[in-house]
Structures are given as structure tokens and as C-alpha cells.
Structure 1
Amino acid sequence: MRLLDVPLQIIEKYKHFRKGKRLLPVPSNQKCNEYLKEIAEVCGINKNITFHTARLCVTLHYLSEICRKACGIPVTYWIDRFTLHEIANLLCQKELPLSEIAAGMNFSSFSYFSRYVSRHFGISHTMSTGSH
């Protein structure tokens, strides 16, 4: 059976981490908990990680299990994916000021929201702060 391109790219990305017969790494529950704590630090999230698990409608334990079973994809990927999808939808609503979107998405400040959008959407910092 031929695999699609995306699964092949994932397998290729993690080929150096293979242990035994597993194609992809499987982090321990402890490692997943470390990822969860790292999310707050790396992403500048001032909220408890349970805030984000609630937004995803999952428990912290379930999110840890999913991370463990997801072959090494960090939880930050899923949080960013959810957050960016929501931001993209809100940015399409031209009548919403950026400061209102930032507040509605529970960013600690407009400045942090602006940096987050710039980093993830590839928009220059000055462009993303233009109309708040």
C-alpha cells in the first residue's frame, strides 16, 4: 500500500529517532507533561495550560495521552493550529479591530498578539500592528 506524501514526510523527518521496530518516536507521559509545561514558557503563555485544554474541549490527561500516542508531534503544534485557525477566521471580519481580536483570544497583551501573528503568519510586525 502506498502512503500519501504527508505521512511519508513525517516518517522521513523522524527516521533518525527510530527505536526498535517503531517508525516514529513515542514519548512517555512524563515527556508529554514536560511539553505541556514548555508550551507556557516557549509560547509566552501566561495562562495555565488547562486554559488551552479547555479551549480544545479535552482534559489535560487526555491531551497528554494524545501527545504520547501521536508519535512525537508536540502539543504546541495543536494549540498553535487551533489558535491560528481561530485568529484567521477573526481576521477575515474586517470590522473587528485587532485589539479586540487579541482580547477575545485571551492574549495577555496586544503586543504579544502582534508578535504571535507576525511570527506564525509571516506578516511584518509593523503591518500587523497597523490598525488596532
Structure 2
Amino acid sequence: MESVKREYTRRQKKIKAMITIELEHPEGARLTLSTRDRSFRLIAETRDISWGGLCLKFPVLPQDREKRFTPPKAHTIVGSSITVNLSSPVLTLYGEVVRFDSRNQVMAVSITKVSDYDLWQELCNQESES
């Protein structure tokens, strides 16, 4: 299989983040945030970032009765809406989960909206951390 080249260069950045993943009802109707077990708030850290996406690493995964974060059910997270609140700089990213590796506790996110595009672009253009 031919390798697909990424559209934007990734930069290694470690930024603490609070994320909210909103799961959808099986029939596709979005449930409210008050609906039990349909949204998760988690602490994460970015592993790398780019203009179009980012990779998040989780130190701990939540206790989940439906076991959506286990290897057999990890695919149920893919396609979910996600909000990522970065701590420093203060920035909010909105997007969609495109991949979730439960064994390594890593999630790939495609970004659809950013609270401050200039700040995000500046952050993405900075040299990678060593």
C-alpha cells in the first residue's frame, strides 16, 4: 500500500489539555450533554500538532461501563465530536476523532474549527520540541 503524505507538517508539542468527547445515539440523533454516559471529559496531552489535526496521549482512560475505550470497541469512538481545551496557550479546538489506539492510549483528531486561528497557526509554525 502506498504511503499517504500528510498535507501539513506535524510538530512535536506537549501541551496539557482538557477534552470533551460527545458520543452520538446509535440511531444518529445527538443526545444532550446531560444524557448519562454520552459524553466524557478527560485530561490529555498533545503529542504532536499540525494545522489540520493533532495527536493526543492519555495518561489514564475513564472507567466506562460500555467499555468503549477497550481494544474491541475502540472503533465506537471514531467519528465522535471532540472539543480540546488547551491550557497554555489558552485555545479551544473543535474536531472529530479519526483514530483511537486503546493499547497505546493515543487519539488522532481532525480539526474543523479553532477559537483563535492566528494563535493556532503561530503554535503550529514553531519549531518542534526536542
Decide: shared fold, TM above 0.5.
Answer: no
TM-score by length of 1: 0.22
Larger Rg: 1
Q: Which gives a bigger RCO, structure 1 or 2 (Cα 8 Å, sep 6+)?
A: 2
Higher helix share: 1
Could you state the TM-score of these two structures normalised by the residue count of structure 2? 0.22
Higher strand share: 2
